[in-house]
Amino acid sequence: MHASSHEVPVAGAALDALFQQQRRAFRRVPYPSANERRAHLDALHRLLTENIDAIAAAIDADFGHRSSHETKLLELFPSIQGVRHAKRDVATWMRPEHKSVSAWFLPGRAKVVKQPLGVIGIIAPWNYPLYLAIGPLTSALAAGNRAMIKISELSPVFGRLLAELMRKYFSPDHVAVVNGDVDVAQAFAGLPFDHLLFTGSTAVGRQVMRAAAANLTPVTLELGGKSPAIIAPDFPIDVAAQRVIFGKCLNAGQTCLSPDYVLLPETQLPAFIAAAKKEVQRLYPNIPQNPDYSAIINDRHYARLQGYLDDACANGAEVIALGDSAPSARKLAPTIVMRVDHTMRLLQEEIFGPILPVLTYRELPEALAYVVDHPRPLALYYFDDNADRVDRLLQQTIAGGVTVNDTIFHIAQDELPFGGVGPSGMGHYHGPEGFNALSKRKGVFWQSRWNTIPLLKPPYGKRVGRLLAFMLK
Ligand code: NAD
């Protein structure tokens, strides 16, 4: 790989010049054909499939240790699947939608045409730096746009690689990667994009929306929050424990969709803990050396997580480590915390690590009330075989997305809208939703030569009066 001397320029005027270059290029090609868009998606597909090992190695370097299987399973696979899906369906998504016309306007016709917006800004976090850049980019390209992507300052090795790969597969006036610190991210968010898609924390999401407001740039905010997992009274507890543990341990809990905490029947607590312990030992024996278990991204985050545990202990919680940690390698073992209460940071902040507070309930409605009383989460997981109760839960709680009887997997369904609600985000993307979010859906009315409008024109007399009396019924 080349050093960063060929880096796309980042700060101030250079960033603005790059934006203007993309905007001019967009004006030259305001509506790429379906074939052109498929060719762009093909280039993205090649970028991914021809550089799998280099991508996994770069992300591994940024994490200190990121399981290469996790990178392939959770970043490359969904990215490639999303590109393939968009390639297959983009021509269908592009088709105008014909709409009905009220009797007064017949025989005019109405349709919605979907038009590229222009230059899309994408800001990605460090936890899944590939997928959270490529997913939005797939929507942007399918919708016929140009895009600039800001990679997190915590993913510098990956950021340099992606910048270099993009230059190889795309011209910078089509897709460009921008790297740099938070000041660069701030300048980036201040560009007058035609749409800005941000993935990251709720706190930074607020700042991004403020910056975008100055330009009236519409935003899609993919944020975080505390996603609950509720286990219904008669659901097999070992199955629930295994599935919660799998979702929690992916990327060592540094997943926006990670089950943040569990709500389970009081009587099932010992069985849940035993099953969770067994599952961690089966999936990740010897955590310090285990290649399948990822590291915490940096010392600051490791200290933050350790701080949650210390705070919980100091306030009377019971902490059960489900394996050995290796702080020098930033490997934090999955840890269950019991006897938690709302004064603890563990129940206040998004955990974003392999710590699982377990709360108990006597009656299921208490669990629902807890969820409804707290900020609307990005995901909700509900384990229950009773379809009526599942329906009631879906009606009574609001969350970005739901997986029933498992965790995480609603994100992998390309036809489902993906996005949070309230403090966990706004707007949706993936598949057709992403295409629509990054298109202008333009309403077009096509007047016919002969129509009723002349009957309604001045001078208003009895005729118009009679017609109006009829129209206003
Ligand atoms: P973060 O908010 O700290 O940073 C995200 C990105 O914003 C980075 O690229 C950073 O450079 C940039 N940034 C920082 N300050 C900025 C500013 N003032 N203006 C503009 N950009 C700025 O988040 P993070 O630590 O990288 O990621 C973790 C968070 O992201 C968690 O809260 C997690 O839940 C959330 N997340 C959400 C999703 C989702 O799809 N909803 C996915 C992954 C992560």
For residue 352, which of 386, 315, 308 has the smallest C-alpha distance?
Answer: 308
pLDDT of residue 424: 98
Spans in the chain with pLDDT lower than 70: 1-11
Ramachandran assignment for 425, one of left (phi > 0), alpha (psi -120 to 50 degrees), beta (any other): left
Q: Measured from the CA of 378, which atom of ligand 1 is nearest?
A: 41
3-state secondary structure 458-472: CCCCHHHHHHHHHHC
pLDDT of residue 11: 67
Going by alpha carbons, the residue nearest to atom 26 of ligand 1 is: 125
Burial of 214-230, coded b for 16+ CB within 10 Å and e otherwise, reads eeebbbbbbbbbbbbbb
* 109 phi and psi angles, rounded to 5 deg: -130, 150
Q: Which amino acid is at 367?
A: A
* Proportion of the chain above pLDDT 90, given as a percent: 96
Q: Name the residue of 15, 79, 122, 123 whose CB sits within 8 Å of the most ligand 1 atoms, as the mutation to test its pocket.
A: 123
Going by alpha carbons, the residue nearest to atom 8 of ligand 1 is: 152
For residue 122, which of 107, 143, 108, 103 has the smallest C-alpha distance?
Answer: 143
* CB atoms near residue 246 (< 10 Å): 16
Ligand 1 centroid, distance to 412 Cα (angstroms) = 20
102-117 tens-digit pLDDT: 999 999 999 999 999 9
Identify the active-site residue in 256, 279, 350, 433.
256
The sheet with strand 227-231 has its strands ordered as 318-321, 335-338, 355-361, 259-265, 227-231, 379-383, 401-404
Q: Is the CB of 354 under 6 A from ligand 1?
A: no
Q: How far apart are CA 30 and CA 16, in angstroms?
A: 20
Answer whether the bond into residue 459 is a cis peptide, omega within 30°. yes
* CB atoms near residue 410 (< 10 Å): 19
Q: How far apart are CA 97 and CA 94, in angstroms?
A: 9
Ligand 1 centroid, distance to 124 Cα (angstroms) = 6
Contact 149, 175 (CB under 8 A): yes
Helix (H) or strand (E) holding 36: helix 34-49
pLDDT of residue 10: 53
For residue 259, which of 142, 378, 146, 140 has the smallest C-alpha distance?
Answer: 378
Q: How far apart are CA 143 and CA 135, in angstroms?
A: 13
Tokens 């312990």, located at residue: 277
For residue 297, which of 198, 166, 157, 187 has the smallest C-alpha distance?
Answer: 157
Using DSSP's 3-state secondary structure scheme, residue 102 falls into: coil
The mean pLDDT value of the chain amounts to 96
Using DSSP's 3-state secondary structure scheme, residue 455 falls into: helix
Give the count of alpha carbons within 13 A of 16, CB side only.
4
Q: How far apart are CA 217 and CA 400, in angstroms?
A: 23
Q: Name the residue of 198, 256, 302 whose CB sits within 8 Å of the most ligand 1 atoms, as the mutation to test its pocket.
A: 256
pLDDT of residue 2: 41
Q: How far apart are CA 268 and CA 102, in angstroms?
A: 59
| Alpha helix (H) residue ranges in 51-196 | 52-63, 68-71, 77-94, 131-142, 156-169, 182-189
Q: Is the CB of 379 under 6 A from ligand 1?
A: no
156-211 tens-digit pLDDT: 999 999 999 999 999 999 999 999 999 999 999 999 999 999 999 999 999 999 99
Identify the active-site residue in 164, 222, 279, 350.
222
Give the count of alpha carbons within 13 A of 301, CB side only.
22
pLDDT of residue 12: 77
Using DSSP's 3-state secondary structure scheme, residue 331 falls into: strand
- Concerning whether 97 is annotated as a catalytic residue, the answer is no
Q: How far apart are CA 159 and CA 137, in angstroms?
A: 15
391-425 tens-digit pLDDT: 999 999 999 999 999 999 999 999 999 999 999 99
